[in-house]
Amino acid sequence: MGSARFAQDLVARGEPIELMVAIEMVGCFRDERGSQPYPFPGMSLMYPSRADFVAVTSDMGSSGAISLVKRGLLASGALPVVSFRAPRSFGWIDLSDHEPFVELEVPAVMVTDTGPLRNRAYHGALDTAESLDYERMALVVRGLQGVLAVADAQ
């Protein structure tokens, strides 16, 4: 994976990395109740039923990075945000380019719309540009500006 080589190169060169944010699948949103499925029973008791949010996720050791990114996204007021952390053995949280950074103990998170959980057409013939919600994708970008503002204020 290219991100693994990139992360290794940055660390080997001694580049200071304060935070890596992987933006992963942020184009599928739905407002209907029950539109957000979860990989495990019981998660729907703690997380929204509508697929109208982005999630900030990483491993158990990334609480500080998750908190910072969530605060920044929420500060923008652009869209709902949830956070989730789990052991790396959980499997779902390491499906992005942030994982090689986490392995190298660099603060890193994934910002996602929950991808294949939410998008039944994911990587299929119906997974087309027309199926993406560009307005809310732009809100994700606005939210990431909030992350930069929160990080700069620290």
Domains, the chain, in order of start with CATH, read: 2-153 (3.40.630.10)
pTM of the model: 0.92
* Interatomic CA distance for residues 73 and 64, integer angstroms: 14
Q: Two tokens at 83?
A: 């956070």
Average pLDDT, the chain: 91
Q: What is the largest CA-CA distance in the chain?
A: 48
92-143 residue pLDDT tens: 777 788 999 999 999 999 999 998 899 888 888 888 999 899 999 999 999 9
Measured CA to CA, the distance from residue 135 to residue 138 in angstroms comes to 5
Q: Which of residues 81 and 150 earns the better pLDDT score?
A: 81
The burial of 119, by beta-carbon neighbours within 10 Å (0-12 exposed, 13-18 middle, 19 or more buried), is given as buried
Residue 116, pLDDT score:
87
Q: Sorting pLDDT into bands at 50, 70 and 90, what band is 2?
A: confident
- Chain centroid to CA 153: how far? 22
Strand ordering across the sheet containing 81-86: 20-24, 108-112, 54-59, 81-86
pLDDT in tens, 69-98: 999 999 989 899 999 998 877 777 777 889
Tell me what percent of the residues of the chain surpass a pLDDT of 70.
100
Structure tokens at 109: 């998170």
